[in-house]
Amino acid sequence: MDFMGKIAVITGGASGLGRASALKFASGGAKVAIFDIDDEKGESVIKECMNKGTKGLFIHCDVTSETEVVEAYSQVVSTFGAVDILHINTGIIDKVTFVSELSFDDWKKVINVNLNGAFLTAKYGISQMLNQDKGVIVFTGSNWAYVCDPGFTSYAASKGGVVAFARALALDHAKDNIRINVICPGNMVTPLLERQLSLEDDPEAVLESMGQISTPEEVANLVAFLASDESSAMKGSAVIIDQGETLGYGHGLRVER
Ligand SMILES: NC(=O)c1ccc[n+]([C@@H]2O[C@H](COP(=O)([O-])OP(=O)(O)OC[C@H]3O[C@@H](n4cnc5c(N)ncnc54)[C@H](O)[C@@H]3O)[C@@H](O)[C@H]2O)c1
């Protein structure tokens, strides 16, 4: 896809889907900025982007810090001049347990990164897009906004929030030439999934039970489509991309009560 001349910001771009999305935009000629807390991996992804012949910028940015988010956008605009494409993708799972055993702090940690982080990066990204009179945003939600496995309430609630937030935001800015959609991936082979599997007694068996799993590159193809003019008719869509998992194919991760 052609993203020549565009500037793309990817949050959580140091790993997994964010990395695949950064590389996809770079392959299309976009200049890429990554906001992430993992400096080493973030710098390395930016190197991979630059090896594709484009420009890149890693910015250490914790998406839960308003000061850091404001500063990060300011660096992007002073370096590249605009934010044309914004992939709001940062997400964590953290504690997997039943609500009666989940501390309020653990609940808030997930909501803070996944939902408050989405709010902050959207708020200041949109402010810049309003200055430019254009922009496109793709949020990463999850199919767990709709279906779930036991013990994932904080994650499911945060992702349900991201989906509803993205759709409400799409309405707010439909007339501002800012197009917003949200993707809802199922299981993808990324460090996030690998971390969850490593907590299982028999990771191989759980993996086997999960059915077909997407690569981050397959999902990044959808991100790129939604960020491109090819999807100009799409506003406020929540697009499930999960190998049919929500149809009941694959059991997913399990915790025992
Ligand atoms: N992997 C899956 O199976 C799956 C399925 C559905 C949805 N998702 C969603 O896809 C998105 C990407 O996940 P992934 O699987 O690539 O995970 P990942 O762990 O590989 O990457 C997440 C990135 O976010 C960064 N990050 C975490 N906290 C941050 C913070 N406070 N500020 C800035 N950066 C922060 C991490 O450093 C990491 O680089 C997430 O929103 C996740 O919820 C993943």
Using CA atoms, how far apart are residues 238 and 140, in angstroms rounded to an integer?
10
Predicted model pTM: 0.97
Q: Distance, CA 82 to ligand 1 centroid (Å)?
A: 24
pLDDT-based confidence at 251, cuts 50/70/90? low
User: What residue ranges define each of the domains in the chain, with the CATH number in brackets?
Assistant: 7-247 (3.40.50.720)
The mean per-residue pLDDT over the stretch 118-126 comes to: 98
Using CA atoms, how far apart are residues 88 and 125, in angstroms rounded to an integer?
10
Characterize the bridge pairing of strands 178-185 and 85-88.
Answer: unpaired
Instruction: Note the pLDDT tens digit of each residue in 16-70.
Output: 999 999 999 999 999 999 999 999 999 999 999 999 999 999 999 999 999 999 9
Q: Distance, CA 6 to ligand 1 centroid (Å)?
A: 24
Residue 229's pLDDT is: 97
Cβ of 130: how many Cβ atoms within 10 Å? 14
Q: Distance, CA 83 to ligand 1 centroid (Å)?
A: 21
b/e code 17-52 from CB counts within 10 Å (16+ = b): bbbbbbbbbbbbebbbbbbbbbeebbeebbeebeeb
Using CA atoms, how far apart are residues 221 and 247, in angstroms rounded to an integer?
22
50, 23 in Cβ contact below 8 A? no
The mean per-residue pLDDT over the stretch 5-23 comes to: 98
Q: Which of 9, 10, 17 to mutate to test the pocket of ligand 1 (most atoms within 8 A of CB)?
A: 17
- Which atom number of ligand 1 is nearest to the Cα of residue 93? 43
Could you give the angle at the alpha carbon of 213 between the alpha carbons of 212 and 216, nearest 5°? 150
Using CA atoms, how far apart are residues 13 and 196, in angstroms rounded to an integer?
19
Confidence check: pLDDT of 253 > 70: no
> What is each CA distance from 58 to 25, 45, 120, 170, in whole angstroms?
15, 9, 18, 27
